[in-house]
Amino acid sequence: MVQNDSSSSFALFDATPQHYTQHDEELSHQLNDDSYPHSLTTLSTNPTDNSKLHATNDHADSRTDSHTSEHIATEKVLPTKTFSEDLTSSPRLVPPTQPSKAWRGIVGQYRIQRVLSKALLSNRIAHAYLFWGASGIGKDALALEFAKVLNCPHRFIVEDIIHACQTCPSCLQAQRLEHPNISLVFSLPAVNASGVADSASPLLKMSDEQIAVIREQMQKKAENPYHHIDIPGATQIRINAMRDIKRSLSLAQFTEGKRVIIITDADAMNPEAANTFLKTLEEPSQNAVFILTTSNKERVLPTILSRCQQLRCSTLAEEEITQGILERFNVEIDHARSIAQLADGSFAKALALIDEDTQSLHAEMMEWLRAILRRQTYQIATADCTQIFSEKKDRTFVEKLLTTLLFFLRTAYPIALRHRQNEIMTPTTDAERFAINFSHGHYEEALSHVEQAIRVLRVNANLHLLLLSVSLKLRSCFI
């Protein structure tokens, strides 16, 4: 189990309750000391530090800074209490300067945000949640942002969604995955370290190289909540991680807010870990919330499912992905739309496609389409293009090329229909220019040819012959 604090990229709860009892008096004096470091048992992030673990009996500052936000004349502030008194009283009406849409960094998933906000407003937060759905649609991102909202002392309301303020110390810690109340659990590689007890925390058994990989993955997750943590040799969540959870919940809490334990890819729990975790769920901690995420709900133990409030996360609409890309990257809208069309409803896949330079892929598709539709010498131009593509001997590339063409034609088709009705347009994109120039093309037939080519490609067809065949068929649809 990985837990984070403000002085490290991740931390372990491996101190015993007795360890803290011996320092209760010291902690009581230091509770309001800003200079006191905020950490539990941590893994050092200093690359020059050769020691794997160092124990500090620290805590997070629980005071609320009353000067972190200015009151705006038009803002209606609701009475507030401490977290322990009432979770429903701290959200306030949004001031005009605050964002007006979904949670920060989250693409789509508005229904889930409203469900969770309603639970928070009514003070009926479930003991355990299961976020499930397709890969890459934001389940982990939702879990991390909900954990941030639960621990923010300056929450505010936009319409029916509660937001974290994003600026207080709690939010900044959560953003860096360093909040002492928020734990992230994921698969770790199996190791057997000599001299280390079998019941010890998994990270105690890791090599320095493995620790470095985990640090790197945690940093990537902090920067991009859609990043999937991928550690070589990590295929299971094992029983020691579940023991860590139980041990951490038995320790005193020194920071206000909710303890949130996020278990990513919960279907990766092996039978021993799942049964141990089930016992923890059966004995709920009063101030803890479990959030499990999975793309394979059917692989999660049914008895665990029955104890979770299950929230299905939907695949994302192309418009949502396009908007998410435009908000994060300086790209043309055509490029963003092409990526969204290729992403199959997954924002994680869209981010990966940006790294693969889909703009170049779009340019190659347009060059091929222009060659097919030349008035003269189209045979030579088309043969040259298909030869270049087939010589790459990359079936994945050819499938992406055909898929890019498929979505391009789907985009152009409704524009062509409008142009046939003499609608006046000023084309600004490749799809709009194509639709106007070929408004009377047989789009439905062309789409059928491309879809058929993709199906044939997946059963090991000859690349060159396939591309030549679909080229001639497309030409017949538009010339």
In which band, very low, low, confident or very high, does the pLDDT at 215 lie, cut at 50, 70 and 90?
confident
Beta strands 156-158 and 92-93, pairing class? parallel
- Answer whether residue 328 shows pLDDT above 80: yes
| pLDDT of 370 over the 60 cut | yes
List, for residues 37-96, the tens digit of each pLDDT value: 332 223 333 333 333 333 333 333 333 333 333 333 223 333 334 443 344 344 444 433
Residue 200's pLDDT band (cuts 50, 70, 90): low
Asked whether residue 129 carries a pLDDT value surpassing 90, the answer given is yes
pLDDT of 141 over the 70 cut? yes
CA atoms within 13 A on the CB side of 191: 22
3-class secondary-structure state, position 396: helix
pLDDT of residue 28: 32
pLDDT at 236: 87
Mean pLDDT of 141-157: 90
**Residue 167: closest CA among 178, 179, 155:** 155
> How does strand 10-11 pair with strand 42-43?
antiparallel
Encode pLDDT of 221-266 as tens digits.
898 889 888 888 888 888 888 888 888 888 777 778 888 999 999 9
Backbone torsions φ then ψ of 120, nearest 5 degrees:
-70, -40
Tokens of 312: 């299905």
- Over residues 440-456, the pLDDT tens digits come to 999 999 999 999 998 89
pLDDT band at 343 (very low <50, low <70, confident <90, very high): confident
- What is the average pLDDT value for the chain, to the nearest integer? 76
DSSP letter (8 states) at residue 236: B
Report the DSSP pairing between strands 128-132 and 288-294: parallel
- Is the pLDDT assigned to residue 473 strictly greater than 90? yes
Q: How many helices (H) and strands (E) does the chain have?
A: 18, 12
Euclidean distance between CA atoms 79 and 81, whole angstroms: 7
pLDDT-derived band of residue 5, with 50, 70 and 90 as boundaries?
very low
194 pLDDT band, cuts 50/70/90, is low
Q: What DSSP line would sit under 353-371, residue for residue?
A: HHHTTHHHHHHHHHHHHHH
Where residue 368 falls among pLDDT bands split at 50, 70, 90? very high
Most confident of 12-26, 40-54, 423-437: 423-437
Instruction: Quote the CA–CA distance of 442 and 10 in Å, as a whole number.
Output: 57
- Of 407, 275, 306, nearest to 350 by C-alpha is 407
pLDDT, position 303: 93
- Is 293's pLDDT higher than 90? yes
Which residues have C-beta within 8 Å of that of residue 101, sequence separation ≥ 6? 158
Least confident range from 203-207, 212-216, 322-326, 452-456: namely: 203-207
pLDDT per residue as tens digits for the range 372-413: 999 888 888 998 888 888 887 788 888 888 988 988 898 899
Cα–Cα dist 291/148, whole Å: 13
Which residues, at least 6 apart from 111, have a Cβ–Cβ distance to it below 8 Å? Answer: 314
Q: What is the mean pLDDT of residues 102-119?
A: 86
Q: What is the DSSP letter of 232?
A: T
Q: What is the percentage of the chain residues whose pLDDT exceeds 90?
A: 24
CA gap 171, 111 in Å, rounded: 23
Nearest alpha carbon to residue 53 among 100, 101, 110, 12: 12
Q: Which of the four pLDDT bands, split at 50, 70 and 90, describes residue 337?
A: confident
Query: How many CA within 13 A on the CB side of residue 234?
Result: 21
Instruction: Please determine, for residue 304, whether its predicted confidence score (pLDDT) is greater than 90.
Output: yes
User: How far lies 293's CA from each of 261, 296, 299, 449, in Å?
Assistant: 11, 9, 12, 39
Structure tokens at 11: 């931390």
106 or 87, which is more confident? 106
Return contacts of 17-20, CB within 8 angstroms, 24+ apart: 17/250, 17/251, 17/252, 19/55, 19/57, 20/57, 20/251, 20/252
Task: Report the distance separating Cα 317 and Cα 295, nearest Å.
Answer: 18
Partners of residue 293 on adjacent β-strands: 131
pTM higher than 0.75 for the full model?
A: no
- Which parts of 2-58 fold into alpha helices (H)? 17-21, 24-30
Ramachandran category for residue 304: left, alpha or beta (phi over 0 → left; psi -120 to 50 → alpha): alpha
